[in-house]
Amino acid sequence: MVVPGSPKQRALLVNLIVHHGQVVSRDRLIEDLWAGSPPSTGLGVLQNYVSQLRKALGTNIVVTRGPGYLLDTDPRNVDSVRFERLVEQGRTALRAGDPWHAGEAVSEALGLWRGPVLADVAAEVFAQAEISRLEELRAVAVELRLEAQIASGGHREAAAAAEAAVAEHPFRERLCWLLMLALYRSGRQADALRAYQRARTALRDELGLEPGTDLRDLEAAILGQRRDLDDLLATTGPRRRTARRARPAAAPARTGRGVVSHRGLPRRHRRDRRRAPARGRRAGYREDPPPRGSPTACGST
């Protein structure tokens, strides 16, 4: 795409891109281009800018529609639109338990950034809201990529990236949370606790706030070396199912008669228990009840 040379032409193009797929009225464009103080010839100058844009981009790209103009182009040609779609793909993949594809999508999205967003019009009033929105979405994308790295087992790489991200955004508690988790799972428990203290100091000294519940809970979990920290962000379905299967079965309960009660045992254990005497009888064996006080058939007490 050819970038127009005039600052006002670039501002016009950015305005149409920001409202991609929507008609922007001439009055609105004039108001935005001259920050509320347009010249008396504003309409004619605007029409001249549109004409020059059409020469640079093509007559079918900047379309006259109703009271204004519409940028009619494939969304894939607009970096901001592609960026948003890729971030959403990454978020969806992460929720579905697929951190690898999530990381791929978000990394591609972040690769579209080549410097400050909308740098050519950063001083324009009309661009401020869009700049803030895209900067926030970029920070969210960084968090999603870190989460995908940790969930995939890339703790050390995530810790290094999170350190840089926290230095850039010291008040984003989610970033600090991810940094602490990545450090802990890299075997750097002391560094994780120091990261919490730095975040707490920054929040308290600069904003007069205490860390939120999530950060405080993570600090307590690290101090207590809770085992479930190893399962945080393990979002894949099979990993969850494996973790459930690995849990030991509930201890069998002894009744007053010295036999094992089936209450509280998983169904498959109850089924196997019922079948055991039948298999013994078919093989010609007699199952005697265990003597009082002796170990039960399912393990010693």
pLDDT number for residue 2: 52
Separation between Cα atoms, residue 293 and residue 238, nearest integer Å: 41
* CA neighbor of 158 nearest in space, from 216, 79, 232: 232
For residue range 271-291, list pLDDT tens digits in order. 444 444 444 444 443 444 444
pLDDT tens per residue, range 161-190: 999 999 999 999 999 999 999 999 999 999
Q: What share of the chain has pLDDT > 90, as a percent?
A: 60
Question: Of 28-32, 128-132, 217-221, 234-238, where does mean pLDDT reach its minimum?
Answer: 234-238
CATH 3.20.20.70 fits domain 7-73: no
Shortest CA distance to 83 belongs to which of 115, 106, 101, 100?
106
Class of domain 157-238: mainly alpha
CA dihedral angle for residue 183, residue 184, residue 188, residue 194, rounded to 10 degrees? 70
pLDDT over 90 at 157, yes or no: yes
User: Average pLDDT of 3-15?
Assistant: 84
Q: Give the integer Cα–Cα distance in Å for 145 and 108.
A: 10
pLDDT tens figures, 50-81: 999 998 888 889 999 989 999 998 888 899 99
Checking if the pLDDT of 248 tops 90, the result is no
What is the rounded distance in angstroms from the CA atom of residue 64 to the CA atom of residue 54?
11
Percent of the chain whose predicted confidence (pLDDT) is above 70: 75
Phi first, then psi: give them for residue 160, nearest 5 degrees.
Answer: -65, -45
Torsion of CA 85, 89, 95, 98, to 10 degrees: -160
- The pLDDT value given to residue 158: 96
Instruction: Give residue for tokens 């690898």.
Output: 100
The model carries a pTM of 0.72
- Calpha distance 165→169 (Å, rounded): 6
> What tokens were used for 151?
């969930």
Instruction: Give residue for tokens 């182009």.
Output: 73
Work out the burial of residue 278: count CB atoms within 10 Å of its CB; fewer than 13 is exposed, 13-18 middle, 19 or more buried: exposed
Q: Which residues pair with 24 in a beta bridge?
A: 69
Per-residue pLDDT reduced to its tens digit, 81-123: 999 999 999 999 999 999 999 999 999 999 999 889 998 899 8
Beta bridge partners of residue 70, listed in sequence order: 63
